């Protein structure tokens, strides 16, 4: 969340940021209008309350002198009536201001390139060599069905489209990846956490999922939301708290749930885009002066998983038109998917600066007074998409799939997946 005072004093900066994000300036215009009205009411209210004090003293003096009080009492009633109207207006304007501020995205970093969409994202580095196949590589859904490790039909029967049943070595591969990722990240210095996946509205608002992405969330009947990512519970662990020892590094596995509203027709086959999926998350709480250095380290920590799995990937710097609502800067890790002949996102590593911390009220103490921490997070990695990358990059012509060497201890020593 941006500070109201900053928006008021820098409307051109915020307006330009919105335009660079492919948005209009209507939110800023409305906010400044309500802000001016709110401050006008505060000034008028203070003036009337001062006048009320004067009239109160005048009435007291008239009583002492046994003089007529009618006109002053009428004046007092008019003042009180107007003050009540103003107080109602102040509450209404404050509510409108809060509602608008929660819908204004973060200002992109100066190092975030200006662009319209994903086509304007510069590639920073390409790691690993794409495999040269001597046969036509199959898409992961064909591999999974032929090996009887992914069951899309029964997943749809149980829950609907966008849900998949993992079976046998497929289920074992998913579980192995979760354990492997957590083991790597804890060795990197992250504290493992196993948080709830039912999230209240305040926590969802704290990280920026609400109100912007309400249509993408699964809302339960008792007012809780299903976690769209472990970023939400991890970041809100310290909501309304002071952090005494910075930095704090956390990692967690959670199942994630997204309705993917407005994305119908995209990746309808396979497990690239699912309503329920697994993810391992990395979250950092750091001092402002170190947050961009920590973003580079967090990105490398996520990359380490891909390097150990020997999967080819690239790192791109998201432009202003593609960056997330709460982020100031984001690196996407994109893994190579042979059947699609393209790189696909498998992790987003972002610095939110104090945007989330201001919403969630997460601070630390300094000699100059309290400051908001900077928060960062990234997927370390999206597990289902890692399964996709392994099935497609490690497939063999006979239909079997080689298991990456680093995963074999997590799969009982198995070296390949063959049809059972």
- Round to whole Å and give the CA distance between 104 and 113: 19
Instruction: Single out the residue of 163, 169, 161 nearest to residue 144, CA to CA.
Output: 169
- Round to whole Å and give the CA distance between 224 and 206: 14
Q: At what angle do helices 291-308 and 169-187 cross, to 10 degrees?
A: 140
Q: Any idea which residues carry the catalytic annotation?
A: 258, 273, 345, 348, 385
For residue 156 the two structure tokens come to 């749809």
Strands 276-286 and 313-317: unpaired
**Whole-number CA gyration radius for the chain:** 28
Instruction: Single out the residue of 410, 275, 269, 272 nearest to residue 344, CA to CA.
Output: 272
For residue 18 the two structure tokens come to 């919105």
| Contact criterion met (CB below 8 Å) for 382 and 388 | no
- Round to whole Å and give the CA distance between 111 and 355: 17
The number of residues making up the chain comes to: 420
The dihedral through the CA atoms of 170, 278, 21, 312 has a sign that is: negative
Cβ neighbour number for residue 77 with a 10 Å cutoff = 10
- Round to whole Å and give the CA distance between 337 and 273: 14
Burial of 266 (0-12, 13-18, 19+ CB in 10 A): exposed
| 25-46 burial code (b ≥16 CB/10 A, e <16) | bebbeebbebbebbeebeebbe
| 224-252 burial code (b ≥16 CB/10 A, e <16) | bbbbbbbbbbbbbbbbeeebeeebbbbbb
């Amino acid at each position: 969340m941006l500070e109201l005072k900053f928006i008021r004093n820098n409307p051109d900066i915020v307006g330009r940021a919105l335009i660079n994000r492919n948005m209009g300036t209507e939110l800023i215009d409305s906010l400044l209008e309500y802000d001016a009205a709110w401050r006008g009411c505060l000034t008028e209210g203070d003036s009337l309350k001062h006048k009320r004090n004067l009239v109160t003293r005048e009435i007291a003096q008239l009583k002492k002198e046994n003089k007529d009080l009618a006109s002053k009492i009428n004046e007092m009633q008019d003042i009180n009536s107007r003050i009540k109207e103003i107080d109602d207006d102040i509450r209404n304007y404050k509510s409108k201001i809060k509602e608008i501020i929660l819908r204004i995205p973060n200002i992109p970093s100066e190092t975030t390139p200006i662009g319209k969409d994903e086509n304007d994202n510069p590639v920073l580095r390409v790691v690993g060599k794409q495999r040269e196949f001597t046969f036509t590589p199959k898409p992961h859904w064909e591999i999974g069905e032929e090996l009887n490790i992914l069951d899309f039909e029964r997943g749809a029967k149980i829950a609907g489209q966008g849900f998949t049943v993992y079976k046998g070595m497929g289920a074992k591969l998913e579980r192995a990846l979760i354990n492997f990722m957590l083991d790597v990240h804890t060795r990197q210095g992250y504290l493992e956490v196993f948080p709830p996946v039912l999230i209240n509205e305040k926590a969802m608002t704290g990280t920026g999922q609400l109100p912007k992405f309400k249509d993408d969330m699964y809302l339960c009947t008792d007012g809780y939301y299903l976690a769209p990512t472990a970023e939400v519970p991890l970041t809100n662990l310290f909501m309304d708290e002071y952090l005494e020892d910075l930095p704090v590094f956390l990692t967690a596995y959670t199942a994630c749930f997204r309705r993917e509203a407005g994305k119908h027709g995209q990746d309808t086959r396979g497990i690239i885009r699912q309503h329920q999926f697994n993810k391992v998350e990395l979250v950092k709480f750091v001092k402002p002066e170190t947050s961009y250095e920590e973003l580079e380290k967090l990105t490398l920590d996520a990359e380490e998983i891909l390097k150990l799995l020997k999967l080819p990937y690239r790192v791109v710097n998201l432009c202003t038109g593609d960056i997330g609502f709460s982020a100031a800067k984001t690196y996407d890790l994109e893994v190579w998917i042979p059947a699609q002949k393209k790189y696909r996102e498998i992790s987003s590593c972002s610095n939110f600066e104090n945007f989330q911390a201001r919403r969630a009220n997460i601070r630390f103490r300094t000699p100059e007074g309290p400051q908001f921490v900077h928060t960062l997070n990234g997927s370390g990695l999206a597990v289902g998409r890692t399964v996709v990358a392994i099935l497609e990059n490690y497939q063999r012509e006979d239909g079997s799939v080689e298991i990456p060497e680093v995963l074999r201890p997590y799969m009982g020593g198995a070296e390949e997946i063959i049809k059972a």
